[in-house]
Amino acid sequence: MTPHLDGSTQLAGLIGWPLTHTLSPAMHNAAYEAMGLNWVYMPLAVRDGATLTRAIAGIRAFPFVGFNVTMPYKRLVLNMCDEVATQAQLAGSVNTVHLRDGKMIGYNTDGRGLLEALTSDAGFDPAGREIVILGAGGGAAAALVALALGHAKRIAVLNRSEDRANALIERVRERLRGVELIALPLDPRAEDRVRAADLVLNATPVGMSVEDPSPIPVTWLRSGQVVADMVYGAQPTSLVRAARDAGAVALDGLGMLVCQGAMSIDIWHGEADMRAPRDVMRAAALAALGEGV
Ligand code: NAP
């Protein structure tokens, strides 16, 4: 539905490149309408770093409540913010910026969005649990920080390049002392660690193409586990299918996407008693997926 636009309309949007398949405009605009907000959310495709600087200057000049950030600018935007929330500093990236009193305040809602989706869709609480994260990039870092702050007992980061897993853990170890952190290569040496995990989280892009195999051998999965894929699409990923076949509880990344977006709105709106409607946003995202967005 076309939003009503007038001289009081406030702006929000998503900065990234490319933005061909984003579900965020559908999800956000549906939420604003349901909440009665005179806001509009736009895709803001930014081709390169030089354009990013000019785009941010433009955003500061217009009535933006805030904006989201996706690949490849989450770290660059962190460095352009006036203030950065602790969780975003630890994650090393910003996916949500609030424009407040002329300042850009950076947040990371990816990790907290993941936690909310795990709780609401799988009844999973990380406290005291063993967790395996596949991947060591921005999504993995945000998840690691949120799961550690959620009092996980042990988190193993399994990555194709072990050096990057080590670097991630060394960067946060001093600030996250309550959790045991382990780096491992994503190869057969990790099998026992995956089998022992209460939660297996895919934070690699493997699964984005329907032909992609599972990022780990499916025989490593077992019933009683929660398996969460950050990847989402019109079809379940190979990992999600294999986890269901193994009797595990499996979630794709749509719940995380919805919750991280809803938390952005909650930050921009600031009224604790008027939370963004997760159900409306999920329905809008699913409808956009069905239309092949
Ligand atoms: P990123 O920073 O580029 O990191 C990608 C990670 O995946 C790296 O650790 C990389 O390993 C690993 N990787 C890439 N290709 C691989 C392959 N073929 N086999 C094994 N490992 C591979 O990306 P990101 O921002 O963390 O995003 C990761 C995925 O999560 C993307 O699909 C993204 O769309 C998704 N995501 C979803 C949400 C959501 O709301 N659902 C939020 C954030 C991210 P190396 O270090 O060895 O290169």
Q: Which of 13, 23, 25, 74 is catalytic?
A: 74
Residues in the chain: 293
Asked whether residue 5 is assigned to any structural domain, the reply reads no
Instruction: Kindly state whether residues 195 and 99 are assigned to the same domain.
Output: no
Residue 50's φ and ψ, nearest 5 degrees, are -65, -40
| Atom 31 (ligand 1) nearest CA | 205
Rounded Cα distance between 152 and 275, Å, is 27
Asked whether residue 201 is assigned to any structural domain, the reply reads yes
- Span 15-70, pLDDT tens digits: 999 999 899 999 999 999 999 999 999 999 999 999 999 999 999 999 999 999 99
Rounded to an integer, the average pLDDT of 158-180 is 96
Rounded to an integer, the average pLDDT of 152-172 is 97
Q: Are the C-beta atoms of residues 204 and 164 closer than 8 Å to each other?
A: no
Instruction: Kindly state whether residues 120 and 244 are assigned to the same domain.
Output: yes
Residue 274: which CATH number?
3.40.50.10860
pLDDT of residue 2: 65
Instruction: Kindly state whether residues 104 and 131 are assigned to the same domain.
Output: no
Instruction: Kindly state whether residues 35 and 67 are assigned to the same domain.
Output: yes
Q: Is 264 in the pocket of ligand 1 (CB under 6 A)?
A: no
Instruction: Kindly state whether residues 137 and 225 are assigned to the same domain.
Output: yes
- Span 59-117, pLDDT tens digits: 999 999 999 999 999 999 999 999 999 999 999 999 999 999 999 999 999 999 999 99
Instruction: Kindly state whether residues 214 and 163 are assigned to the same domain.
Output: yes
Instruction: Kindly state whether residues 124 and 248 are assigned to the same domain.
Output: yes
Residue 243: which CATH number?
3.40.50.720
Q: Which residues contact 106 (CB under 8 A, 6 or more apart)?
A: 77, 78, 81, 83, 84, 85, 88, 94, 96, 97
Instruction: Kindly state whether residues 169 and 226 are assigned to the same domain.
Output: yes
Instruction: Kindly state whether residues 82 and 153 are assigned to the same domain.
Output: no
Closest CA to 141 of 107, 118, 108: 108
Rounded Cα distance between 205 and 135, Å, is 9
Asked whether residue 66 is assigned to any structural domain, the reply reads yes
Asked whether residue 153 is assigned to any structural domain, the reply reads yes
Q: Is 104 in the pocket of ligand 1 (CB under 6 A)?
A: no
| Atom 37 (ligand 1) nearest CA | 230
Domain of 191, in residue numbers: 111-252
Asked whether residue 2 is assigned to any structural domain, the reply reads no
Global pTM? 0.97
Instruction: Kindly state whether residues 62 and 187 are assigned to the same domain.
Output: no
Q: How many domains does the chain have?
A: 2
pLDDT of residue 126: 98
Residue 103 known to be catalytic:
no
Rounded Cα distance between 110 and 259, Å, is 8
Task: Please give the number of the atom of ligand 1 that sits closest to the Cα of 141.
Answer: 26
Instruction: Kindly state whether residues 205 and 267 are assigned to the same domain.
Output: no
Q: Is 160 in the pocket of ligand 1 (CB under 6 A)?
A: yes
| Beta-sheet pairing, 249-251 with 180-185 | unpaired
**C-alpha 204 to ligand 1 mean position (Å):** 3
Rounded Cα distance between 173 and 167, Å, is 10
Instruction: Kindly state whether residues 262 and 241 are assigned to the same domain.
Output: no
| Atom 46 (ligand 1) nearest CA | 161
